[in-house]
Chains A and B, each alone.
Chain A
Amino acid sequence: MTAAPASPSLNATAGRGTRAYPVQAATVSFDGVGKSFPAARGTKRGASAPGGGLRQVLSDVSFDVEPGQIVSILGPSGCGKSTLLRAAAGLSTATAGQVRIDGSPVSGIDPRCAVGFQEPRPLPWRSVTDNVAMGLPRGTPKADGGRRVAELIDLVGLTGSAGHRPAEISGGMAQRASLARALARNPGVLLLDEPFGALDALTRLKMQDLLLDVHAADPTTVLMVTHDVEEALYLSDRVILLGSRDPAGPAGIAEDIRIRVPRPRSREDAELARLRSHLLAQLGVEGH
């Protein structure tokens, strides 16, 4: 359960020199992305909304994520953070604009993306190893796949539990397995949807450090959704704050903040503290 096992294994991985699975960190471009949902029948908002009972959640979201960066999407709950992420993953389609990865538009499930969900969502009847192997790209030779899975399980510090079933490990360990499964896809973009949101506070801090370790070993592009301001600031190169002036209207980019604090960061860093007060104020939490 500690983050400590990850560090030595990390060195071991890095020590091999040439990596068999080079990560091609990709650029993600959001280009005027908007999303509307059919309004629930009978709601006042749906009846009065323009556009025939459609409720617009996101409107005209445009930004580029540079390769290898960690970018957090922050915003009040229900503002469409996850919707944006799901559009990038191809799990749902935007109703306006498009998402492009390395210039080519996303349509359907994209092999260049891997998703880590808030819930680890393992297949309960498979061992940790077999669950991680599920993330391997189609057609990976068996021997290569096995080596890669063992390497990733080592990276997230689960070697001792590799043969266990999901019901036999803790929530934090399941979330590590979920991260390893996503990395097995060797993704150009790692999409994380509130990945640590369901974990206890202590485990969450350890998982954040693990993510940074993993990113140092596999410097892929990471786009994550979170509602935790401190998490966003501690991890990210850049924070996109979603919001809207009109509470009933669609959300757009309210702020785009680049964080130039070098890593490793201190959680007590003065610059981060200043940004934290600012972002909390933006999210409507005053006096911190």
Chain B
Amino acid sequence: MSINTGPTRTIDRSRSVPEAERPGALGPATGSARGSGMPETPAPVRSRGSLLRAVARNKWLAGALGLALPVLILLLWHTLSSNGTFSPVQLPAPSTVLAAGVELAQRGDLWFNVAISVQRVVLGFLIGSTLGMVLGALIGLSRWASVLAGPTIGAIRAVPSLAWVPLLMLWIGIGENSKVTLVAIGAFFPVYTTVSAALKHVDRQLIEAARSFGITGLQLFFQVQLPAVLPSVISGLRLALAQAWLFLVAAELLGAAMGLGFLLTESQGNGRTDRLLLAILLLAILGKLSDALVGVFERWAARRWGAAPAA
């Protein structure tokens, strides 16, 4: 008659397993070394593990190692563009791209294009993810809302989002609003999907325990359900941010007079491969920066609500 004790026990057991013994955490390497029966293998395996652990501990070392690959790519790029493998039109040298960047920056075009793109992403992301959270919470918490609206939202989600572009242009026009709307559509669904699914799967035993202490309604949401789904909310926000950049470029490629996507089409049109590469580099940097901001929020939330169980 006791209620579904299985899952809780499994979770408890997995918690008590030390990090290194978990499958996946350096496990396969040690396993295969032992399996092959070679007496000398344990020592190298241990040294490799301790090096990795040292890297994980030292964030400067990890950062430096993370930069190794970009530096290598830059060197390769420089070599390929200067030794004649590719023509300057196909692949301009890194220095040329940098010069193009400096030139655009001096004219003021660079900051203008970056600023307008960032503004579109930020507005669209905020609107889309907020709506995604509100609707996701509604569908995840209310069975009535789930039954009534779930299938419809699912069907809308099934429409490839770029298919909205012609309609948005017809309805809203080619200005800022249609671009922000498209970015918002892109940001909405990852948040909506993760939040609604996570709320449906919050541990029922926790909810029952909280209810037995008279915690219901909004209190239950803020004290139990929200902290429980926080990891999912954050991964949803991460996905939404990536989607927002994707949809921004799509919107700007399809019709814009400014922005990084416009810089891409314009550069393609007048053969400025250096500016094209510059725009791509800027998108990479901006995407990574905005993702890092979500990471800052994630750490703040983890301090505020503690490390919620990994979803």
Interface positions of B from 218 to 235, Cβ below 8 Å from A:
223-224, 227-228
Quick check: A125 and B1 within 8 Å, CB to CB? no
Determine whether A102 belongs to the interface, using a CB cutoff of 8 Å to chain B: no
**Docked-complex contact A119 and B306, CB < 8 angstroms:** no
Contact with A along B7-29 (1 / 0, CB 8 A): 01100100100000000000000
CB closest residue in chain A, given B208: A91
**Interchain CA distance A167-B228 in the complex, whole Å:** 15
Interface residue count on the B side (C-beta < 8 Å):
28
Neighbour of A81 across the interface among B1, B212, B223, B309, CB < 8 A: B1
Q: Is the CB of B306 within 8 A of A125?
A: yes
Interface mask (A58-85 → B, CB under 8 Å = 1, otherwise 0): 0000000000000000000111111100
Interface size on A, residues (CB 8 A): 37
Interface bits B196-227 vs A (CB < 8 Å: 1, else 0): 00000000011011111111100000011001
B3 within 8 A of A: yes
Residues on A with beta carbons closer than 8 Å to the beta carbon of B8: 119, 121
B212 touches A138 (CB 8 A): no
Asked if residues B214 and A121 are in contact (CB atoms below 8 Å), the reply is no
Provide the bound-state CA to CA distance between A207 and B49, in Å: 41
A125 near B5 with CB under 8 A, answer no
User: Is the CB of A241 closer than 8 A to any CB of chain B?
Assistant: no
The answer to whether the Cβ of A118 comes within 8 Å of any Cβ in the partner chain is yes
> If A89-B212, A109-B212, A185-B213 touch, does A126 touch B5 (CB 8 Å cutoff)?
no
Q: In this complex, what residue of B is CB-closest to A117?
A: B209
- A80-B215 contact in complex given A117-B209, A121-B206, C-beta closer than 8 Å: no
Question: A118, B212: Cβ atoms under 8 Å?
Answer: no
In the complex, are the beta carbons of B306 and A121 less than 8 A apart?
no
Q: CB-nearest residue of chain B relative to A181?
A: B213
Residues of A that sit less than 8 Å from B by CB: 77-83, 89, 91, 109, 111, 113-115, 117-119, 121, 123-127, 134-135, 137-138, 165, 167, 171, 181, 185, 193-194, 197-198, 225
Is there an interface contact between A125 and B213, defined as CB atoms closer than 8 Å? no
**Does B300 touch A at the CB level, under 8 Å?**
no
Residue among A117, A119, A197 having the largest count of chain B Cβ atoms under 10 Å: A119
What's the count of A-B pairs with C-beta under 8 Å? 74
Using Cβ atoms and an 8 Å threshold, which residues of chain A touch B85? none
**Which of chain A's residues has its CB closest to B302's CB?**
A125
- Quick one: given A91-B212, A124-B308, A138-B214, are A82 and B1 in contact (CB under 8 Å)? yes
Docked complex Cα distance between A81 and B1 (Å):
7
Which residues from A are CB-within-8-Å of B209?
A: 115, 117, 121
Q: How far is the CB of A231 from chain B (nearest CB, A)?
A: 15
Nearest to A197 among chain B residues (CB) is B2
Given contacts A124-B308, A124-B309, A171-B12, whether A91 and B213 have CB atoms under 8 Å apart is no
Residues of A close to B2: CB separation below 8 A:
82, 118, 193-194, 197
Q: Contacts A123-B206, A165-B306 hold; do A80 and B1 have CB atoms under 8 A apart?
A: yes
Q: How far is the CA of A117 from the CA of B203 in the complex (A)?
A: 14
Q: Could you tell me the distance between the alpha carbons of A197 and B3 in the complex, rounded to whole angstroms?
A: 12
Query: With A and B bound together, what is the CA distance between A135 and B209 in angstroms?
Result: 10
Instruction: Quote the shortest CB–CB distance from B89 to chain A (angstroms).
Output: 56
Q: How far is the CA of A133 from the CA of B213 in the complex (A)?
A: 10
| Apart from A121-B208, A124-B306: 12 A-B pairs, beta carbons within 8 A | A82-B3, A109-B214, A119-B5, A121-B8, A121-B205, A123-B224, A123-B227, A124-B308, A125-B227, A127-B306, A135-B213, A193-B2
Does B164 lie at the interface of the complex (its beta carbon under 8 Å from any beta carbon of A)? no
A181: chain B residues at CB < 8 Å are 213
Contacts of A197 in B (CB 8 A): 2
Please determine whether B213 and A126 come into contact, CB atoms closer than 8 angstroms: no
Bound form: Cα–Cα A124–B307 in Å: 8
The 3 A-B pairs with the shortest beta carbon distances in the complex, nearest first, are A125-B306, A82-B1, A121-B209
Q: How far is the CA of A119 from the CA of B208 in the complex (A)?
A: 12
Q: How far is the CA of A97 from the CA of B309 in the complex (A)?
A: 41
What is the bound-complex CA distance between A249 and B10, given in angstroms? 34
Cross-chain contact B211 with A109 (CB below 8 angstroms): yes
Q: A119-B8, A135-B213 are in contact. Are A125 and B205 (CB under 8 A)?
A: no
- Chain B nearest CB from A91 CB (Å) reads 6
Q: B297 an interface residue at 8 Å Cβ cutoff?
A: no
A165 to B308, CA, bound (A): 10
